[in-house]
Amino acid sequence: MIADVVALVHTAYVAFVVVGFVLIVAGIARGWKWVRTFWFRTAHILAIGCVWAQSLGGISCPLTTLEDRLRQAGGSTGYSREFVGYWIDRLIFYDFPPRVFAIAYAAFGFLVAAAFILAPPRLRSDAGPVRKHW
Per-residue pLDDT of the chain (134 residues; tens, 9 = 90+): 788 888 889 889 989 999 999 999 999 999 998 999 999 999 999 999 998 888 888 888 888 888 888 888 877 765 455 545 555 666 666 677 777 777 888 888 899 999 999 888 988 755 444 444 44
In the chain, where are the structural domains located? 2-118
Q: Please list the residues that pair with 42 across neighbouring strands.
A: none
* pTM (global) more than 0.85: no
79 φ, ψ to 5°? Answer: -75, 135
Give the helix ranges, DSSP H, for the chain: 2-30, 38-56, 62-73, 83-92, 98-118
Per-residue CA distances from 124 to 34, 75, 130 (Å): 10, 50, 11
> Nearest Cα to 52, choosing from 120, 94, 115, 110?
110
